[in-house]
Structures are given as C-alpha cells and as structure tokens.
Amino acid sequence: MFLSNSLRYHLRNRVINLGCWPGLIKEYQSWLPVSDETPIITLKEGGTPLIPAPNIEEYIGRGVTIYLKFDGLNPTGSFKDRGMTMAISKAKEIGSRAIICASTGNTSASAAAYACRAGMKAFVLIPDGYVAQGKLAQALLYGAEILSIQGNFDEALRIVRKTAESYPVTLVNSLNPYRLQGQKTAAFEVIEALGKAPDWLCIPMGNAGNISAYWMGFKEYYKAGYANSTPRMMGFQSSGSAPLVIGATVENPNTIATAIRIGRPVNRDKAIKVKKDSNGIFSTVTDKEIIKAYQILASREGVFCEPASAVSVAGLLKYRNEIPDCAVIVCVLTGHGLKDPSCAIGNNTATFHTGIKPDIKSITKLMGL
C-alpha cells in the first residue's frame, strides 16, 4: 500500500532538495537528539542513492523489484559516517578532546575523518593483519593514532570500552547510542525514495548496530504515518563469523568479509528483538557465495562494493525462492569496493593481458578486430 498524495509530496520535496544536501543532522534534526547547542560536525554524509538492480531482478523474476542502498557513497566510503557525524558532534558538545574506537577498518576511517574535522584526537585499536589496506590508509592520512594489537576485534573492543570508562576519551563504537541515531536516517531515506517501506530489507550483520538502527528508523517513520508498513528484516552473516545465527560467541571468527569479522556482537540483544518484531530471518552465506555476489554486483550491475556489503545480496540470492511475487526489496551495501582493492584483484574474472608490443596491430589482434 502506497502513501497518500500529501505524504508523497512531502517526501518527493526531500529528494528534489538533495542537490543542496545539508548533511543528515540538519536534514533530520527534528528526529535526532540534538539541540541548538550541538556543534554539527559534518562532511555532508547521508543522501545516498537507491540504485536499481535490473539484472538481479531478471534473474529472480516473478515481478520482483530490487534496489541497492549504496552507503559506500558516503564521504569516507561507508555507512559508518551516518553514525559518526552524530557521535563526534555530541562528543564535541560535552567538551571531549579525544575519541577512541576498535575497528575492522571502516569505523577507524570514519572516526578519524570526523575527529580531525572537529579538532579532536583519534585513537584507533585494530586487530593486527586483519584490516584492509584501503581502510588503514584512510585512518593514517586523517591523522589517527593507530594501535595494532595481537588479537581480534572483540579483544580490541574490550580494551577500548575499559579505556573510555576510566580515562577522558569518548568511545565512538556502536555502543555509543548516538551512532545508531545517525544510522537510522538511512531507513528514512529508503522510505522517502520509494514512497513506502520495502517488503524486505537485506543487510549484512557484524556488530549488529546497523540492522538495529534501520529498524529504529522504519518504526519511527511508520509511527509518524510516513509509511504504511515496516519491512521484514533479513540479516546475513558469513558462515565463518555467525554468532547471531548460531546463538553463541565465535571465539575465532574468519571470513573474507573483514568488516563483519566479529564474534561477539555488542548489539546482539537489539538485533534479536529486530528479528522477532519484524518476523525476520537471520542466516549465513559462505565466503564463496559472498564472492559470487560481489562479482555479480560489479560485472552485471556496475556497482563496486566491499566484500562485506555483498553479503546482503548473497543472502537475497540464497532466499530467492522464498521472495513473494512482486515484492520490493532493498539490499544494503555498507561500503565501497575501493576499501579492499586486494580482494578485487584476487577475485575477478576479467582478462588481463600483459607484455603486449606497443603497436596498433598487436592491440587490435587481441581485441579481435
């Protein structure tokens, strides 16, 4: 069921105004815990597109409509910017001079960017050898102080939590409640773009903050009358790092999708409630299925996302036979493909010719002309 003409007009005006997008705090100020006293630290995050996926639609058939919510087009290349603009703005408001986080990569890049924008010091703990080079390069260039530990993400998070409890630094992982407040705005944008809520929302899960934030946003717009329904929340994890699916901590998570290589999600209870309240499904996909979806998105739809983002599409393809006819589905793509270039180089089907003589005859012969 679609929205009334008046609500559609209201939402359409938001879309028209994207040309002068002010950043998500100013755009959604009445929906967020900010005041006139809050210094807004922004890089004009949010306002990311819903990209149609016609080739995946054709493969699934049955009149299904599929969109990709590509949050890899945020300023630092991931959805983390939505929460970080809020977390850093509120930290600045209380006079904090330093922030700290544990990260598998995207959080570190985002935290470092917004901290330097705010004139604050950023400390980042990362698991040694488990952060993609593109993400590490960002954090370093933004000026963060990197502490690489001999352990995994869960151990890094334990340390930063205790540090923030005992020392004058603000924690900006998704335990920070302002992070999810910022991230919920993605659900607002989905409803505004579609004129209604989707039937399914497919989303990767690591620490499970994003699925919790989306559900918060969908519920708030539904309660306000901006949508006539809420979606079924379809959360997916890698089979090598699936604590929310198996219902137990994974001590040594392992997956090619490094952004969701988390064995002890801090938003576990919130996510379980989302699943129950939305009649959702939590399931796993293998690394092989993730790479297949990653390749399909790039080679068929022209969308280059990081491996963890492709988990949402891998899950959709796994459950394709259960999709209702004519359903509208949104798959969340959380990060840009340039975050992890080594994965792209090692997992493509392109032809790469080398050692070619620099003359037109050699070139055109290889081109089949």
Specify the fold of 24-77+177-347. Answer: Rossmann fold (3.40.50)
Rounded to 5 degrees, what are φ and ψ at 102?
-100, 150
pLDDT above 50 for 1: no
* pLDDT for 28 beyond 50: yes
Q: Which residues pair with 125 in a beta bridge?
A: 102, 147
Range 200-209 average pLDDT: 97
Query: pLDDT tens across 150-201, in order?
Result: 989 899 999 999 999 999 999 999 899 999 999 999 999 999 999 999 999 9
Quick check: 305 and 70 in contact, CB under 8 A? Answer: yes
Q: How far is CA 9 from CA 12, 224, 250, in A?
A: 5, 15, 47
> Domain 84-171 has what CATH class?
alpha beta
Are 207 and 174 spatial neighbours (Cβ–Cβ below 8 Å)? yes
Residue-wise pLDDT tens digits, 259-298: 999 999 999 999 999 999 999 999 999 999 999 999 999 9
List Cα–Cα distances, 128 to 98, 103, 136, 354, in angstroms. 23, 11, 11, 34
Provide the 3-class DSSP secondary structure of residue 162. Answer: helix
Burial 306-345 (b: 16+ CB within 10 A, else e): bbbbbbbbbbbbbbeeebeeebbbbbbbbbbbbbbeebbe
Instruction: Give 229-252 as a DSSP string.
Output: --PEEEEEEETTS-HHHHTS--SS
Cβ–Cβ < 8 Å for 308, 334: yes
> What is the per-residue pLDDT across 80-109, written as a single tens digit (0 to 9) for each?
999 999 999 999 999 999 999 998 889 999
pLDDT of residue 73: 98
Distance CA 188, CA 283 (A): 25
> Do 227 and 197 meet the contact criterion of CB atoms below 8 Å apart?
yes
Average pLDDT over residues 209-229: 98
Q: Which two tokens stand for residue 273?
A: 């409630």
Average pLDDT, the chain: 93
Cα–Cα distance for residue pair 45/34, rounded to 1 Å = 16
Residue 240: its pLDDT value, please? 96
Q: What phi and psi values does residue 288 have, to the nearest 5 degrees? A: -65, -40
pLDDT surpasses 90 at 127: no
pLDDT tens, position by position, 46-90:
999 999 999 999 999 999 999 999 999 999 999 999 999 999 999
The domain locations on the chain are 24-77+177-347, 84-171
Contact 85, 99 (CB under 8 A): no
Q: What is the per-residue pLDDT for 7? A: 60
Asked if residue 152 lies in contact with residue 121, where contact means CB atoms within 8 angstroms, the answer is no
